[in-house]
Amino acid sequence: MSSIYFIALPLLFGFATPIFAKFGKNGIAYSSVLLQASLFLLSIQLFVTMDKSIIEVIAIAPPLGIALILDNVSIFFVMLFTFLVLMGSLYYLKLREKNPYQNEAKFFILINMLLASAIGLVLSSDIFNIYVFFEIAGISAYILSAYRKTPKALEAGLKYLITGAIASIFLVFAIALIYLHLGTLNLALISQGFTALESDIKLLISLFLLIGFGLKVEIFPLNFWVTDIYEGSDAFTDAFFSAVVVKAYLFVFFHIVYLFLPHKEFTLFLLYLGAVSMLIAEIVALRQTNLKRLFAYSSLGQVGLLFVAFSMQEAVSITAGLYILLAHSLAKMVIFLSLASLFEKYKKEDISLFKEMNSPFLRNIIIISMLSLLGIPLLAGFVGKFLLLKSIAFSGLFVLLGLLVLASLIESVYYFKIIGFMFSKEERGEKFSLSTLQRAVLLTLTLGIILIGIAPFLISDFIATASSVMIDVRSYQNLLLGAN
Amino acid sequence: MIEGILEYLNQTEVIKTIVILGSMGLFFVGLFGLLSQRHIIKVFISIGIMEIAVFILFIGLSFQKGLTAPMLGDAHTSFVQMNDPIPHAMILTAIVIGMAVLALGISFAIEYYKLTGKNRLDQMNEMKH
């Protein structure tokens, strides 16, 4: 039953805050970090002691009841999310001394809700539970986005909320159609019955699912407001949006695609959608001057790349996708967390900030993260990009290959522009150094990027199993229905 | 005459056709509002209408004539001759979530209006440089 702790404990944290508040003014902050640390350790423990494939199936009165599945691929996401949220919370422990959020108890509740719902999205194998976690993640993200209550933050929150509400309507519509035609909400039963449906109903359901999830995973052309949302929110919360929330939605979307629509025709569309999305995002990113906006466009580009990787529907490219996802989450966490400190210090969000910045440590780790996003060898981003381009080349999709290489070239232009700003010989102010804890957090994340880049074989077995589990629909069905 | 019309309307196909046409009409009213209106509160109302349309469609189509509500009571002591309770449970959850989201949205809109005096989406341009 341990996988239920990942969802229940962070949610229960909210109710327990009055007790933690009794431990002094740091009580809530430290207990939140403690909770996330223990969840991370729990996920490590589950990972270490797991069997070859399945770890845990919790099915309460299937096929109607709740079912949670913790298998190789979902443990990957659980470990990633708990780790990233833990790192973010540790970083915030120092950030809050100078620039805390108002009503911090609420802020910690929201962060934990975000963690619980991201994990819930990944674990649940019931489409209505997915809808509920979809909404919990959405609501906590809207509030986090508007948390500062400045005009910009409120505008971002409103835009996030409107897109999210539209997304949830289409998701409910899709779920209603699925239930009316198949009479079940269980993912395994739906995936068994889905191929037998009439083709126009299938098209309608997949269209609604694409709109519903597309608004959340920031795919072109549904990402019109995403950059506004990133710019209006705090850099600290952007780190969570980019590294955790979007990744959870992305995984669920492709999990549903593999289960329902394992046809090449549908995924060919997603493939080119991803490539076009990446190309457009990188082109628009070129002329951005606001840093949050610029890195938001870079996130959109990376999501496009992930769309390509997951739409290939082959174990090799999914492996590549998981590597890219891991590298991107780590890098964006580093970048947005360091931006949060830099904005707070220099009181500006413009790209010229890097001309004033005087902090060799932050400069170096931001450069390492950007080079990793670009896919420079010996960094984590290279492994995924290389595997993906190789598998595309083997499939003979050379137009797609050309689009991706072109997008990466454009991406490199603005990354190198930023690096140029960092080394420009301008007058720089006094040296800015972070506290030890913040350095440790950023250093851990950066070491992760370097370690995966130098020695991908450390995790290659695990990721290869995870990707083969993710695409293996038949054994997922057996796993879920066999639990009866 | 009246009885004939009622008899006709009482057929399952007719009821379901009315539900489909009505709820889809409502859905497109909401969609039109969403695309044409720029006042924030009107956008939220449009979203609410679209949500309600989906709920009506789902409940209306999953309802079967001749079966009772899925509740145990004086006359019903076992779960036979009852409608499927799952759509009701689902829609109840969805209504609560939808209402919470809209309430949150309106509270954002009020705060935003207090700070900036703006209440239209096309005036929201804090991010434009």
Tell me if chain A has a CB within 8 Å of the CB of B96.
Answer: no
Is the link from the previous residue into A18 a cis peptide, with omega within 30 of 0?
Answer: no
> Nearest-CA neighbor of A400 among A309, A315, A323, A314?
A309
Residue B121: DSSP 8-state: G
A302 in Cβ contact with A385 (< 8 Å): no
* Other Cβ atoms within 10 Å of A189 Cβ, number: 17
- Residue among A252, A2, A223, A208 at smallest CA distance from A117: A252
Token pair, residue A371, equals 């080079």
The arithmetic mean of pLDDT across residues A251-265, rounded, is 84
Q: Residue A340 is which amino acid? A: A
Chain B nearest CA to A139, separation (Å)? 7
Q: For the ranges A141-150, A310-319, B29-38, which has the lowest average pLDDT?
A: A310-319
Residue A138: pLDDT over 90: yes
Predicted confidence at residue A53, as pLDDT, reads 54
- Is there a contact between A176 and B127 if contact means CB atoms under 8 Å apart? no
Looking at residues B62-91, what average pLDDT do you find?
78
Round to whole Å and give the CA distance between B32 and B22.
Answer: 15
Which residues in A433-455 are b (16+ Cβ under 10 Å) and which e? ebeeebeebbeebbebbeebbee
- A410 or A224: which carries more pLDDT confidence? A410
- Among A204-213, A303-312, B7-16, the range scoring the smallest mean pLDDT is B7-16
pLDDT of res. A484 = 46
Give the mutation candidate from B19, B52, B97 for the A interface (greatest A CB count, under 10 A): B97
Provide, rounded to the nearest whole percent, the portion of chain A with pLDDT above 70.
Answer: 96
CB contact under 8 A, B51 and A169: yes
Beta carbons within 8 Å of A75's beta carbon, 6+ residues apart: A43, A46, A47, A50, A55, A466
Distance of alpha carbon B103 from alpha carbon A447, whole angstroms: 43
Does residue A65 surpass a pLDDT of 90?
A: no
pLDDT at position A55 is 56
Q: Are the CB atoms for A243 and A118 separated by under 8 Å?
A: no
pLDDT computed for residue A161 by the predictor: 93
Q: Copy the structure tokens of residue A372.
A: 């990793």
Amino acid code (one letter) for A399: V
The answer to whether A180 contacts B51, with C-beta atoms less than 8 Å apart, is: no
What global pTM score does this model have? 0.92
Better pLDDT: A56 or B56: B56
Q: Cβ of B45 under 8 Å from any chain A Cβ?
A: no
Adjacent-strand bridge partners of A68: A58, A124
Q: How close does chain B come to A391, measured CA to CA in Å? A: 40
Inter-chain contact A154–B115, Cβ cutoff 8 Å?
yes
List, as own/partner pairs, every contact residues A32-38 make where C-beta atoms lie below 8 angstroms and the sequence separation is at least 24, other chains included.
A32/A89, A32/A108, A32/A111, A32/A112, A33/A86, A33/A89, A33/A90, A33/A93, A35/A9, A35/A10, A35/A112, A36/A10, A36/A82, A36/A85, A36/A86, A36/A89, A36/A112, A36/A115, A37/A86
| Average pLDDT for A106-120 | 92
Query: Could you tell me which residues of chain A have a Cβ less than 8 Å from any Cβ in chain B?
Result: 64, 128, 131-132, 135, 138-139, 142-143, 146, 149-152, 154-155, 157-159, 161-162, 164-166, 168-169, 172-173, 175-176, 179-180, 185, 228, 231-232, 289-290, 293
Residue A83 pLDDT: 94
Q: What residues contact residue A97 under an 8 Å CB cut-off, 6+ apart? A: none
Are the beta carbons of A218 and A229 closer than 8 angstroms?
Answer: no
For the cut 60, the answer to whether the pLDDT of residue A362 exceeds it is: yes
At residue A51, the pLDDT reads: 64
pLDDT band at residue A335, thresholds of 50, 70 and 90? Answer: very high
Q: How confident is the model at residue A56 (pLDDT cuts 50, 70, 90)?
A: low
Which percentage of chain A shows pLDDT scores above 90?
29
Q: Which of A216-230, A268-282, B45-59 has the highest mean pLDDT?
A: B45-59
Residue B105 tokens read as 């949205």
CB A175 within 8 A of CB A185: yes
Q: How many residues does chain A have?
A: 484
Confidence of residue A481 (pLDDT cuts 50, 70, 90): confident
CA-only gyration radius of chain B, Å:
21
Residue B31 with chain A: CB contacts under 8 Å: none
pLDDT at position A188, please?
A: 84
CB-CB contact of A291 with A449 (8 Å): no
pLDDT at residue B98, rounded to an integer: 92
Min mean pLDDT across A35-39, A97-101, A158-162, A311-315 is at A97-101
Q: Residue A172 carries which side chain, given as an amino acid letter?
A: V
Q: Report pLDDT for B72.
A: 75
* Candidates B55, B86, B104, partner chain A, best to mutate (most A CBs within 10 A): B104
- Quote the longest CA-to-CA distance of chain B: 68
Chain B residues inside the 8 Å CB shell of A157: 108
Which residue in A135, A138, A151 is closest to B126 by CB distance?
Answer: A151
What residue ranges define each of the domains in chain B, with the CATH number in brackets? Answer: 2-63+84-122 (1.10.287.3510)
Nearest to B127 among A139, A157, A231 (CB): A231
Domain spans in chain A, listed from the N-terminal domain onward? 2-481
The answer to whether the beta carbons of residues B112 and B41 sit under 8 Å apart is no
Q: Are A192 and A477 in contact (CB under 8 A)?
A: yes
* Residue with the two structure tokens 């009794």: A22
Q: A37 and A88 in contact (C-beta within 8 Å)?
A: no
Helix (H, G, I), strand (E, B) or coil at B120: strand
Nearest chain A CA: its distance from B12 CA (Å): 15
SS3 per-residue string spanning chain A: CHHHHHHHHHHHHHHHHHHHHCCCCCHHHHHHHHHHHHHHHHHHHHHHCCCCCCCEEEECCCCCCCEEEECHHHHHHHHHHHHHHHHHHHHHHHHHHHCCCCCHHHHHHHHHHHHHHHHHHHHECEHHHHHHHHHHHHHHHHHHHCCCCCHHHHHHHHHHHHHHHHHHHHHHHHHHHHHHHHCCCEHHHHHHHHCCCCHHHHHHHHHHHHHHHHHHHCCCCCCCCHHHHHHHCCHHHHHHHHHHHHHHHHHHHHHHHHHHCCCHHHHHHHHHHHHHHHHHHHHHHCCCCEHHHHHHHHHHHHHHHHHHHHHCCCHHHHHHHHHHHHHHHHHHHHHHHHHHHHHHHHCCCECCHHHHCCCHHHHHHHHHHHHHHHCCCCCHHHHHHHHHHHHHHHHCCHHHHHHHHHHHHHHHHHHHHHHHHHCCCCCCCCCCCCCHHHHHHHHHHHHHHHHHHHCCHHHHHHHHHHHHHHHCHHHHHHHHHCCC
Give the closest-approach CA distance of B34 to chain A in angstroms. Answer: 9
Mean pLDDT for chain A overall:
87
A399-411 per-position pLDDT tens digit: 888 888 898 889 8
Residue A453 has pLDDT above 80, yes or no: yes
Q: With an 8 Å Cβ cutoff, are B54 and A172 in contact?
A: yes
Supply the ipTM of this predicted assembly: 0.92
Say yes or no to pLDDT of A10 above 80. yes
Contacts of B46 by beta carbon, 8 Å cutoff, 6+ apart = B30, B31, B32, B33, B34, B37
A63 has pLDDT over 70: no
